[in-house]
Chains A and B, each alone.
Chain A
Amino acid sequence: MKRLVLLFGGIFLILCGCSKERNFDERELHFISPEKIVGFDPIHASDMYSGNEVGKVYEGLFEFHPLKRPYELMPNLAESLPSVSEDGLTYTFKLKKNVLFHDSPAFKDGKGREMKSDDIIFSIKRLADPKLQAKGWWLYDDKIAGLNEWREKYASQETTNYSDEIEGIKKIDDYSFSIKLKKPYPQFLYALAMPYSFVVAKEAVQHFGKEFLNHPVGTGPFILPVFDQSNRIVYLKNPTFREKLYPSEGEEGDDKLGLLADAGKRIPLVDKIVVDIVVESQPKWLSFQKAKADLLEIPKDNFDSAVIAGKEIAPELKSKGIRLYANAQLDDTFFAFNHDDPLFKNKKLRQAMSVAWDRQEANKLFYNGSAVESQSVIPQGLGGYRKEFKNPYVKFDLEMAKKLLAEAGYPNGKGLPSITIQTRNETVARQMIEHFAKNLEKIGITIKVGMNTWPELINKVTKRQHQMYTMAWGADYPDAENFLGLLYCPNSSPGSNGSNYCNPDFDNLYKTATILQDGPERNIMYEKMNEMIALDMPWIFGFNRTKFYLSQAWLKNYKFMEFNHSQFQYLNLDLEVKKELIKKF
């Protein structure tokens, strides 16, 4: 009898284990990151995906308003927008009080201490520390008085002395400090809102040493005690988070969309955020279908099953309450040359390659025809973009390509070595290069594909070990300077100019234009630079993409945001709706 009981007990337990009920009582949101995360050190968060993760744990002085468009900065760790001296050079900042770092063994008693102006100064110094080779240094390079000198001074020394003061950065008291710029830098506040500038604690950096990138200790809305480099990141609500409220105003119409329903509530609005790293498109699509993800960028091959006639959401998805968002991106895709390679000093060759590529077909194959062909470096939607401008080398004309190639000294590709393009280890990325290669073969150019994991690709570009590479660049802040800077000579690798392109005329204009305040004068200069560089073909310009997102009905407060690293704290979840709709999945 006893055995029988044991047997039945055993079977019962097994059956219980099999019918794993999903628990819908927890206020948790699920997202997908399509790339591996480089780590949680803000100064190295150069790609959008790492920036998104860093932004959940760390914070900057400013952030973009989650609802207002055009994008507007609002104070975050700062008490208010800074007061700026008359010459536009000295910025005085005031900090919020009672902002606590996350609890961490790095601090005395394990309790997070209050964030003060020393921490901001320390974080800026870290970005400039020559020993750390921060990926975000380009943002501050030659901007703050004395910072470059400080950096150069320690470049040759064994260790960097952080207590050594910098001329342009002055602590006034624990909650205020001032920064003096070398020359006007209108994008400075944007720079302070980027993940690179997010505030870290000195104790944590010292305590964790090299492991710091796996032990984020910030002031942000969510905590992540250890990042174990696995494919699932689980953030918990920060219990010591200050009182921060959901905004009560937004763009016109936000009210109707229900985006202001949580106005005045204390954020974060959920207890937990789970991010799964899923590189492949198919599993991404399936996990959204099974309601294991709350937001999804529609993978290219699922486009037809999600969107009808290029704009309407499929009825099957609609019946589950799923919503569709189509948003033109502030981004560029491109095939970049490494201009260190003597081969690419040949302008005609670059132009020939561009003209031989059938962009229209690529658009149809890879973007379902929804992308816009880039004429130059500035994407549509930013000052400096002129709709009427057409680049004579952004078109498909095989005869012209052959002619240009002959003029370049390689008639029918004779004498031209094969060219390797590095890209991400991903099916569509490979297919894009295959498509490019197939096109260029017609004029006698041989293209090879090099496949890399994301960190491997970044590493190759940083160390200039590439011949060509493909990349997409999303705007860090709403200013064309952010795109033009990708071709500014002093930003060459390891900076953001991974193509190591140098053009003195362009650089001179860049220096003049980027210190101007936003306005028509600056836009005219941007236009001039944009159109001048277009003819030179420093890259093979690709597309400005439209991204299509799907969100589950229970995801609340979602509004497409180009600079979304701080957006997650504002998102909410309607559990009742989820419990109801989940039956349909």
Chain B
Amino acid sequence: MKTNTLWKDAFKRLSNDKLALVALVIVCFYFLIAILSSLGFVASGWSQEVGASNLAPSMNHFFGTDIFGRSVLLKVIRGTQIAMSVGVAASIIAIPIGVILGALAGYFGGWVDDIITWFYTTFSSVPNIMLLISITLILGKGIFAVYIALGATSWVTLCRLIRGEVMKHKEREYVQAAGAIGGGHLRKLFRHILPNVSHIIIINTSMQFQIAIKSEVILSYLGLGVQGEPSWGTMIDDAKLELVRGVWWQLAGATLAMFLILLAFNILGDALRDALDPKLKGK
């Protein structure tokens, strides 16, 4: 008899969820745009003038133009690239930190756990935005500082979840069996336990991603984020002055783009959790 693995099962579950599929399509679409933009296929001419200053949306300029007559649509697309790259980079930095620290704390317990727990509790007690601002101030401003700042601040939740899960798993029979046939600590931890908690990483990443995007927008709005490139944050910063004159399209473009991706990630994150977390199965 053919049995379904957790992953197959989860995939089936996910494909039955129409809303989640739509969200997945949106996320893929954003990724596609970001990749195309970073390869220079779309929006490479964002800095070119396409018309007069502050033109309202029309058939020619879908989202209108900004103060320098640049296309707001292209800026939104370019901003998408920045936002998605920040999400990816922050995840790449945060996941290894969170997973390794969480796994070590959960598996070894004792003083290792004490130290790591103390570390992340302290870390998470500092308001995130303060931490972000101080890191970008130290590293200097720019996109790399944003990557590192967001990566370095967003690993705490993942670390906590992994720690708890590893604690649960380390006493299970399959781990004991691995120990009985001579597996060392590292083998038990990374070969046996981690694959069994990896769904947490996936769920968490989809949640982290949107936090990273939001934080990038906030930092750029405050002038601490990307410099010299359009970001949704700087667009909103521009728009706050222009709104008085009735120039609403830059704000609309940036917030619409942001709204869609955040909503999609939220729905997808929920669906992934339903699909992957056995505890919630059937609920």
Contacts and interface: CB of A to CB of B under 8 A. Distances in A.
Contacts of B15: none
Contact of A430 (B68, B223, B240): B223
B142 to A, nearest CB: 8
Contacts of B49: 438
B223 to A, nearest CB: 4
A301 B238 contact: no
A304 B245 contact: yes
B227 interface: yes
B244 A285 contact: yes
Interface in A289-305: 299-302, 304-305
B81 to A, nearest CB: 18
B223 A434 contact: no
Given A282-B244, A301-B242, A451 B141 contact: yes
Nearest to B137: A456
A449 B242 contact: no
Contacts of A438: 47, 49, 68
Interface residues of A, number: 27
Contacts of B141: 450-451
Interface residues of B, number: 20
Contacts of B241: 281-282, 299-301, 427-428
A301 B239 CA distance: 11
Contact of A365 (B47, B67, B234, B240): B67
Interface in B20-70: 47, 49, 53, 67-68
B224 interface: yes
B53 A301 contact: no
B113 interface: no
B228 interface: yes
Interface in B221-262: 222-224, 227-228, 234, 237-238, 240-245
A365 B53 contact: yes
A449 B47 CA distance: 15
A434 B68 contact: yes
Interface in A399-443: 425-428, 430-431, 434-435, 437-438, 441
Contact of B245 (A301, A434, A449, A450): A301
Contacts of B237: 427, 430
A496 to B, nearest CB: 26
B240 A437 contact: no
A451 B244 contact: no
26 contacts: A280-B240, A281-B241, A282-B240, A282-B241, A282-B243, A282-B244, A300-B241, A301-B242, A301-B245, A302-B244, A365-B53, A365-B68, A425-B222, A425-B223, A427-B238, A427-B240, A428-B241, A430-B223, A430-B234, A431-B238, A441-B47, A448-B228, A449-B227, A449-B228, A450-B141, A451-B224
Given A305-B244, A430-B223, A449-B227, 15 more contacts: A282-B243, A300-B241, A301-B242, A301-B244, A304-B245, A305-B245, A365-B53, A365-B67, A426-B223, A427-B238, A431-B67, A434-B228, A448-B227, A448-B228, A450-B227
